[in-house]
Amino acid sequence: MLPNLPFAALRNFEAVARLRSFVRAAEELGATQSAVSQHVKALEQWIGRKLLVRGPRATVATKEGQLLADAIAQGVGQIAVLCEMLRQAKHVDRAITVSCPPGFAVNWLFPRLMKFDQICPDTPLSISTSPSSASFIDGQADVAILYGMGNHPGLHVERLMGERVFPVCSPSLLRDGPPLRSVDDLRQHTFLLDELADIGGEPPTWAFWAEQTGQLLPNPARIRHFSQANMVVQAAIQGQGVALGREPLVVDALLSGSLLQPLPGVASSNFSYWFVCPHGAIKHDRIRRFHDWLFAEQAAQLAPILR
């Protein structure tokens, strides 16, 4: 007989602990923030321990809470693998659903998908986007490319590629806009910023770039915020301002000449892009084909000349 566990509360708690946010957990689960909060409160009362600590920027699991969250993730991962194996036996030709951040999808993955179609014509792909997480429950995703520190307990995780950051702008802005020959000239320009999700660690911001490269960053003439990284890249290509280019999101634009690096200084980000899937899923032929193609594309990627 199965123990009488509060499965709904456990699922809600795991989502909050993983995403470090009640708001993002509610969005992922398709529930209200109040409902998620009530589930977590009920779980804490049932266990008799504090599991989460709400902070000004993020909700962080306690030591006991993290142990529980890791155990839930590992258990769900094992269940997901078995469900996937059973579904595979019935739907051999089902499309692979790949979840990844919107910026990565638009600026790196999309331009390369036709190559995959040519190499693996019998392996259809379906792309879904999520800024910082993926759910392998109910077939929402088969594999994911996730951005961050690679902390995904209970799942198969491989580092796909790292990230470097540096200023980028369009040739037209450099030609027709205010001077941009030194970092101090940035005070005459617009900064193009995307809203980085709080996923722990030190995010690659302008302040991070300045500190890592030993620069004194002035206040820009104005700041324009965007909700997604791919919007920042497009705004920079259109000459709307100067962006902090995040490799690999700007690599194709640099190689094509749509963007250039106006100022020297390259900083290595603490974040990377990670290939993530349930344990055991990597053994399936169709998942392995996509995995091998993805890593081959990354290895063949031409590196832009930076200074």
* Model confidence pLDDT, tens digit, residues 67-81: 888 888 887 777 776
In a domain, 128, yes or no: yes
In a domain, 2, yes or no: no
- Averaged pLDDT, 17-46: 88
Question: Is residue 177 located within the same domain as residue 259?
Answer: yes
pLDDT tens digits, one per residue of 172-181: 999 998 999 9
In a domain, 120, yes or no: yes
Averaged confidence pLDDT in the chain: 87
Residue 95 reports pLDDT greater than 80 = yes
CATH of the domain at 223: 3.40.190.10
d(CA 104, CA 7): 34
pLDDT band at 131 (very low <50, low <70, confident <90, very high): low
d(CA 157, CA 175): 44
Percent of the chain past pLDDT 70, that is, above it, reads 92
Question: Is residue 216 located within the same domain as residue 118?
Answer: no
Question: Is residue 185 located within the same domain as residue 112?
Answer: no
| Spatial CB neighbours of 143, under 8 Å, sequence gap ≥ 6 | 96, 97, 98, 99, 275, 276, 277, 281, 287, 290, 291
In a domain, 246, yes or no: yes
| Spatial CB neighbours of 64, under 8 Å, sequence gap ≥ 6 | 49, 50, 51
For residues 158 and 298, the answer to whether their CB atoms sit within 8 Å is no
In a domain, 197, yes or no: yes
The whole domain housing 246 covers 163-269
* Dihedral over Cα of 46, 47, 49, 55: its sign: negative
Question: Is residue 51 located within the same domain as residue 130?
Answer: no
How many domains does the chain divide into?
3
Q: What is the pLDDT of residue 201?
A: 66
Question: Is residue 173 located within the same domain as residue 256?
Answer: yes
Question: Is residue 173 located within the same domain as residue 263?
Answer: yes
Which residue type does 265 have?
G
DSSP character string of 205-273: -HHHHHHHHT--PPPPSEEEEESSHHHHHHHHHTTS-EEEEETTTTHHHHHHTSSB--S---EEEEEEE
Percent of the chain past pLDDT 90, that is, above it, reads 48
d(CA 20, CA 26): 11
Question: Is residue 244 located within the same domain as residue 180?
Answer: yes
* Dihedral over Cα of 27, 30, 33, 37: its sign: negative
Q: 191: closest CA among 233, 228, 241?
A: 241
Question: How, if at all, do strands 155-168 and 242-246 pair?
Answer: antiparallel
Extended beta strands in 3-154, E state: 52-54, 59-61, 96-100, 125-129, 143-148
Question: Is residue 149 located within the same domain as residue 169?
Answer: no
Burial (Cβ within 10 Å: 0-12, 13-18, ≥19) of residue 6: middle
In a domain, 126, yes or no: yes
Residues written for the chain: 307
Question: Is residue 189 located within the same domain as residue 201?
Answer: yes
Question: Is residue 156 located within the same domain as residue 277?
Answer: yes
DSSP, collapsed to helix, strand or coil, labels residue 31 as coil
Q: What is the pLDDT of residue 4?
A: 76
Question: Is residue 211 located within the same domain as residue 118?
Answer: no
Mark which of 18, 42, 71 sits at the end of a domain: 71
Q: What is the pLDDT of residue 137?
A: 64
In a domain, 281, yes or no: yes
Question: Is residue 156 located within the same domain as residue 169?
Answer: no
Across the strands, what pairs with 128? Answer: 99
d(CA 296, CA 245): 23
